[in-house]
Amino acid sequence: MDRRKIEEITAGIAVFLLFFVSVGGIFAIANGIFRWDLFPPYIEKVLWFIFGSCVVVIVASVLVNIMINISILAINSDISVRLRQKENENGKRSKKA
């Protein structure tokens, strides 16, 4: 699979989950402040588990994106160095002639 495609997929997942975690976090804070008791305790435990799981997936997606971007940066810098070396070699050959 292409690195850029993996990066797009993981970034999309992170943004999608981050939206829902943000909305859920707002409701959790409001529930704590106003003591709304929106859900029974066992449902709240499940929701906190889902919230925590989403946070773990977001962090993993961000780390994958960082690793892929570092890899792409290393590949691009290697290509750039090779192109400069070829240009320098061609420049030296043309000066000798």
Contact 58, 18 (CB under 8 A): yes
pLDDT value of residue 97: 58
Please answer whether residues 47 and 39 qualify as being in contact, where contact means their C-beta atoms are separated by less than 8 angstroms.
yes
Q: What is the pTM of this model?
A: 0.78
Chain segment 12-56, per-residue pLDDT in tens:
999 999 999 999 999 989 988 998 888 899 999 999 999 999 999
Count how many domains the chain has. Answer: 1
Query: Distance between CA 57 and CA 10 in Å, rounded?
Result: 9
60 compared with 88, residue with greater pLDDT: 60
**Residue 1 in this model has a pLDDT that exceeds 80:** no
Q: How many CB atoms lie within 10 A of CB 72?
A: 13
Question: Structural domain of residue 64, as residue ranges?
Answer: 3-96
Mean residue pLDDT of the chain comes to: 91
DSSP string, 49-89: HHHHHHHHHHHHHHHHHHHHHHHHHHHHHHHHHHHHHHHHH
What per-residue confidence (pLDDT) applies to 91? 78
